[in-house]
Amino acid sequence: MKVIDNILLEWSYRCPDGIVDLNNSDKVKILFEILKPLLKEDIDDDILTALIDANSDTKSQVLNFIKKSTSKAVEKNSDEGFYAYLKSKNITDNMIDGVNVPERIHDILIDNNDFDNFNKYRKTPNPFPGGLDSLSKILANTNISSKSIFEIINIDGKKKGAGVGKGEVALALFFSDVRKSPGKGDLEWNGDNLEVKSIGARFGGEREVNSSVILGSELGKTAEQYDFNPLKRLDAVISGLYGEIDSKKLYDIVVDFFKNIYPNADFNYLSIDSLKNITDIRKALNKLYISNYMNSENIQHITLINPTGDYIVFTPEQIENIVDKSTITINSISGTNLYPQIK
């Protein structure tokens, strides 16, 4: 039975006529006597009078506050309760600056009448299936509303400069084999690290790169020699240079530049033939960009997730496939934006 149901039942028992009523000061006093051990506060006559005189919306808000407060008090005192479960997933009150994430999750579930359904689900949660799917679809049989799932997916923020991205909390919360990483990285999934990226995220690197990086390179100087702007899209610059200079020389110039930018990339993605047209160049550069990030950080899996919960999981071996099929799209790599955002 729900915590709030127990409280209402106890309140009804203590009322002489068995009828609960927020408009009756004596009955409201009985309610707060029941709540006193949980709320740890005395309720004076002024508060009682204000509550009795309040409109129905305010009374509804008060009951909702009572519901949340009593639920939190009961769950925090349980070694196997809601908060203990979150602790086992490394979902803590200090993981995001200015946000108590456990209480935020609690309030989302309470507000959407999903708390009891979640408490049932967390006793035997599903493992994370990976692949290409939707969290709402996977969790459809849990009776947790799509509204709660959506709101939890979109919990994000910063902690001392580091980011907790959209989807991280949801994946750790809902799946038996995923938890927030206690150290470097986003999540742990069956012992492997699982990095979570959403729209607007980058695969490492700086938001802006000083123009001197490209302008001082042989690629930048060659581009300017043939009247191409090296600060613009580099796929367009390179395709423009193809045919202007020896293809092997162009290949060496491109490799030399990007080995300085993406030192841990898999350069097997880049070939002389890939420099022939702008589409192949763009795909090759994106593969270098992603592989450099995964290799540099020793990442076994990346999950791309959107705000509605649709996601795809891939490994370093699957980079070529997801780029070639445009499963992932990235803003153009340019001379001033060598670490572009996911679209």
Strands (E), the chain: 132-134, 157-159, 162-164, 178-180, 187-189, 192-197, 301-305, 310-314
Give yes or no for residue 1 having a pLDDT over 50. no
Q: What's 245's DSSP letter?
A: B
Q: What is the pLDDT of residue 65?
A: 64
Ranges of H-type helices in the chain: 3-14, 25-39, 45-53, 56-76, 82-88, 101-111, 115-121, 135-138, 146-153, 168-174, 212-215, 218-225, 234-241, 247-261, 278-296, 319-324
Q: What is the pLDDT of residue 75?
A: 61
27: tokens are 């009955």
Question: What percent of the chain has a predicted confidence (pLDDT) above 90?
Answer: 65
Whole-angstrom Cα distance, residue 62 to residue 9? 18
pLDDT tens sequence across 22-75: 777 777 777 777 766 655 555 555 555 555 555 666 556 666 666 666 666 556
Give yes or no for residue 193 having a pLDDT over 70. yes
pLDDT tens sequence across 223-249: 999 999 999 999 999 999 998 999 999
Q: Are strands 178-180 and 162-164 parallel, antiparallel or unpaired?
A: unpaired
pLDDT tens sequence across 61-116: 666 666 666 666 556 656 578 999 999 999 998 899 889 999 999 999 988 989 98
How confident is the model over 205-220, as a mean pLDDT?
A: 86
pLDDT tens sequence across 136-152: 999 999 999 999 999 99
Angle, in degrees to the nearest 10, between helices 56-76 and 101-111:
130
pTM summary value: 0.79
